[in-house]
Amino acid sequence: MKTSNLIRVAGVSILKNKMRTLLTMLGIIIGVGAVIVMVAIGEGAQSQIEQQIQSLGTNMLIVTPEAASQGGVSMGAQSRPRLTTEDAEVLASEAFLLAHVSPVINSFTQAVGGTGNWRTSVLGVSPDYQQIRDWALGEGVFFDEAAVRSMRRDVVIGSTVAENLFPNGDAVGQRLRLRDVPVTVIGVLEPKGQTAGGNDMDDTILAPYTMVQTRMAGRQFIGQILASTSSPDDLGPAQEEIRQILRDTHGLAPNEPDDFTVRNQGELADAAQGMTQVMTLLLASIASISLLVGGIGIMNIMLVSVTERTREIGLRLAVGARGSDVMVQFLVESVVMSLAGGVFGVALGVAGGQTIAAFTGWNTLVSPATIGLALGFAASVGIFFGFYPARRAARMDPIEALRYE
């Protein structure tokens, strides 16, 4: 049979039972809608996390003093944190592939000044920190190498700190006390938003690490070293370079494990992406159960339809339809039905995703790939669940079918 005839025949019989068709399609509509909404939530979360990881900085490498675990067993016990500002300085001067290096010393402190006081984290860093984090200044300047060398008491504050202590926006030039150390605000950072974990990145004060170490933290060891390369391609080699230099500086014997860990931003992104992908997959597979149920609904109705139309099938066979014509007719019917359900389901899913986004403030994202996948899935549900009824129709004996009451 010609394709145009086929579509016509299928369309005619679908439209003749509007209510039944609609109810049958409802299963697919809900199934596809649910899959779209779930994937939209998953992909929305994923893109949000990607953005957040991007906002950490560019081409970033993170060195932490914790030991690498080997075979799942942490080797931390015999390798206590031994990351020092000297390590950062060695890396800065020796590592070939690193564009910027900054130690990070974290000290949680009460900041007093302006309109009151504010508890926040003071990070002792080097001027390179600004480039590594790719963090623009809203006002003022960032402290320089000279400030680090002379342990100058200049600080740059995050926008949250600025808003709370200097609501009038006149932070630059003001004085603050961090613990008992008087400092001068020389710059205010642009807002950067929240981390993936929900921490406010703008709730921070940046100060020269030398100053923080001697006047505030009083510790020899530091929390982490941040570094960056000029190109993302260098991340891998730079990781290895850092490892070699630090093993050297730490004087580790070849059989000793590393007493530090070097991770790059890509790995962080991969880990987070892996997690959200698992979540998306989980949500989608739960939702696709309803699509499966919808498919069973289609099969059920197609079986009823085939039985009901036995005489029609007999007639078609008698006037010259081949078994394959009848088979294709019923398959087209179930595919048209499930595809139409898929189209409505996509509309429902997109609307549902937006509604959820509006009510919860979550990020939802419906990509064309998701829509294509959902429609393809709906069509294959139609073929899969339409196959058995269609084959039953095609194998009918015309004589018996014509006699059927």
> By the criterion CB under 8 A, which residues form the site for other proteins?
1-2, 5, 9, 12, 16, 311-312, 314-325, 398-399, 402
What 3-state class would DSSP assign to 1? coil
Q: Which amino acid is at 204?
A: T
Measured from the CB of residue 383, what is the shortest distance to other proteins in angstroms?
22
* Cβ contact 156:111 at 8 Å: no
Smallest CA-to-CA distance from 25 within 344, 281, 270 is with 344
Distance from C-alpha of 145 to C-alpha of 152, rounded to nearest angstrom:
10
Measured from the CB of residue 337, what is the shortest distance to other proteins in angstroms?
18
Measured from the CB of residue 8, what is the shortest distance to other proteins in angstroms?
8
Residue closer to other proteins (CB basis): 5 or 285: 5
What 3-state class would DSSP assign to 205? strand
Residue closer to other proteins (CB basis): 70 or 324: 324
Residue closer to other proteins (CB basis): 200 or 325: 325
Output the six-digit token pair for 152. Answer: 């100058």
Distance from C-alpha of 106 to C-alpha of 215, rounded to nearest angstrom:
13
Measured from the CB of residue 307, what is the shortest distance to other proteins in angstroms?
15
Measured from the CB of residue 314, what is the shortest distance to other proteins in angstroms?
8
Measured from the CB of residue 325, what is the shortest distance to other proteins in angstroms?
6
Distance from C-alpha of 213 to C-alpha of 209, rounded to nearest angstrom:
6
Q: Give the DSSP H/E element, type plus range, for residue 180.
A: none
Cβ neighbors of 262 (< 8 A, separation 6 or more) are 61, 62, 63, 239, 242, 243, 246
Distance from C-alpha of 285 to C-alpha of 5, rounded to nearest angstrom:
37
Output the six-digit token pair for 177. Answer: 């006390």
Q: Which amino acid is at 60?
A: M
Output the six-digit token pair for 363. Answer: 């990020």
Residue closer to other proteins (CB basis): 66 or 325: 325
Which residue in the block uniquely carries the two structure tokens 């006037």? Answer: 319
Residue closer to other proteins (CB basis): 6 or 379: 6
Measured from the CB of residue 305, what is the shortest distance to other proteins in angstroms?
13
Beta bridge partners of 189: 137
Residue closer to other proteins (CB basis): 14 or 196: 14
Residue closer to other proteins (CB basis): 122 or 301: 301
Output the six-digit token pair for 308. Answer: 């009901």
Smallest CA-to-CA distance from 46 within 369, 355, 372, 352 is with 369
Q: Which amino acid is at 1?
A: M
Measured from the CB of residue 37, what is the shortest distance to other proteins in angstroms?
37
Measured from the CB of residue 317, what is the shortest distance to other proteins in angstroms?
7
Which residue in the block uniquely carries the two structure tokens 């944190």? Answer: 81
Output the six-digit token pair for 184. Answer: 């001068």
- Crossing angle of helices 235-249/85-94, nearest 10°? 130
Residue closer to other proteins (CB basis): 318 or 358: 318
Residue closer to other proteins (CB basis): 18 or 119: 18
